[in-house]
Amino acid sequence: MASLQSACVATSRTNQLLCAHSGLVFASLLALGVFGIAGWMPLIPPGMSAADVAMEFQANRWRIRLGMSVLAFGSVFWWTMSAAIAMQMKRIEGASHPLTYVQMASSCGTVLIALLAAYFWLIAAYRAETSPANIQLLNDLAWITFIGFYPPAFIQNVAIGWCILTDRNEVQAYPRWVGYANIWIAVLFVPGALLPFFHGGPFAWNGVIGFWLVAVAFFGWIFMMWRMTVRAIRNDPSLG
């Protein structure tokens, strides 16, 4: 009986670690798909004319479709990573764990960002011979979704941060600074709200604030939560 118990614990530990590491898979596939294969570094500027956008999709339709397929596949690993974080939050909250639900539910938002954007771009490349206005619309749909869709990510991070900061257990899953960092990064996502107002400049989807600040915060968060969640799994007393 005891060996079955410890086997279950070992499996649980392995699965949690797999989920935690999957965050890196998400980040890598996203970067590979969008920046590597599709080659959108620098990003397609919002101020680009419809004709030029259409030309981009016609000229590069194979690269774009391949890159977006990679992005689409990679998007689901945000769920697996969020599940690892959810396990820690459940450990912190105990029997009554509303914040865990908030975190898990809002993680769907970020998965949607990657999935929807990937499919909008895929469709634009699929029918690249359609009118430039259509292509531009699909392109706009994709970019604004991909970068500006901040509310779910915001509430996901706030839930994590709040959970960590109200942790009353003896063994803290995450150190308190991680809680504060989550709140800060949540705030850094808010400039996404400005994207629909600008076709250029620092607050547009390719701007210093609109893109770069948000992107650095986003990838920084993934790296931080990856390291700190693995650490949390390792210091979990219930996992031995």
Partner 1 sequence: MQLAKQAATSPGESAGSAARVTPGEIRVPGESGFWILILGDLTAFALMFCVFIYYRGHDVGLYLDSQLRLNRAFGALNVVLLLTSSWCVVQGVEAFRERITQRARRCFGAGFLLGAGFVVVKVLEYGDKVREGIAASTNEFFMFFYVLTGIHLLHLVIGLGVLAWMRAKSRSEWSTHRDVALAECGGVYWHMVDLLWVALFALLYLLR
Tokens matching residue 194: 């400005």
Q: How far is the CB of 183 from partner 1 (least distance, A)?
A: 6
- Quickly list H helices, 149-213: 151-165, 176-189
Q: What are phi and psi of 129, to 5 degrees?
A: -85, 0
Cα–Cα distance measured from residue 212 to residue 215, given in angstroms and rounded to the nearest whole number = 5
CA-angle at 23, arms to 17 and 29, nearest 5°: 135
Q: How far is the CB of 212 from partner 1 (least distance, A)?
A: 9
Of 169, 219, 227, 235, the residue at the interface with partner 1 (CB under 8 A) is 169
Of 81, 194, 222, 228, the residue at the interface with partner 1 (CB under 8 A) is 194
Q: How far is the CB of 62 from partner 1 (least distance, A)?
A: 37
Residue 177 in contact with partner 1, rule: CB under 8 A? yes
**Concatenated DSSP letters for 92-109?**
HHTT--HHHHHHHHHHHH
Q: How far is the CB of 109 from partner 1 (least distance, A)?
A: 21
Q: Of the listed pieces 31-39, 51-59, 100-108, 180-188, which binds partner 1 according to CB under 8 A?
A: 180-188
Residue 180 in contact with partner 1, rule: CB under 8 A? yes
Cα distances (Å, whole numbers) of residue 223 to 26, 180, 200, 226: 11, 16, 30, 5
Tokens matching residue 22: 């999957």
Of 50, 183, 230, 239, the residue at the interface with partner 1 (CB under 8 A) is 183
Residue 202 in contact with partner 1, rule: CB under 8 A? yes
Cα distances (Å, whole numbers) of residue 110 to 26, 62, 113: 11, 26, 5
Of 108, 111, 137, 209, the residue at the interface with partner 1 (CB under 8 A) is 209
Residue 170 in contact with partner 1, rule: CB under 8 A? yes
Cα–Cα distance measured from residue 192 to residue 109, given in angstroms and rounded to the nearest whole number = 14
Residue 158 in contact with partner 1, rule: CB under 8 A? no
Cα–Cα distance measured from residue 67 to residue 4, given in angstroms and rounded to the nearest whole number = 44
Q: Of the listed pieces 107-115, 132-140, 163-171, 226-234, which binds partner 1 according to CB under 8 A?
A: 163-171
Of 104, 159, 160, 181, the residue at the interface with partner 1 (CB under 8 A) is 181
Q: How far is the CB of 198 from partner 1 (least distance, A)?
A: 8
Judged by DSSP in three states, 58 sits in helix
Residue 198 in contact with partner 1, rule: CB under 8 A? yes
Residue 213 in contact with partner 1, rule: CB under 8 A? yes
Q: Is the peptide bond before 45 cis (omega within 30 degrees of 0)?
A: no
Positions 21 through 80 that interact with partner 1 (CB under 8 A): none
Tokens matching residue 93: 């909250």
Residues that bind partner 1 (CB under 8 A): 168-170, 175-181, 183-185, 187-188, 190, 194, 197-198, 201-203, 208-209, 213
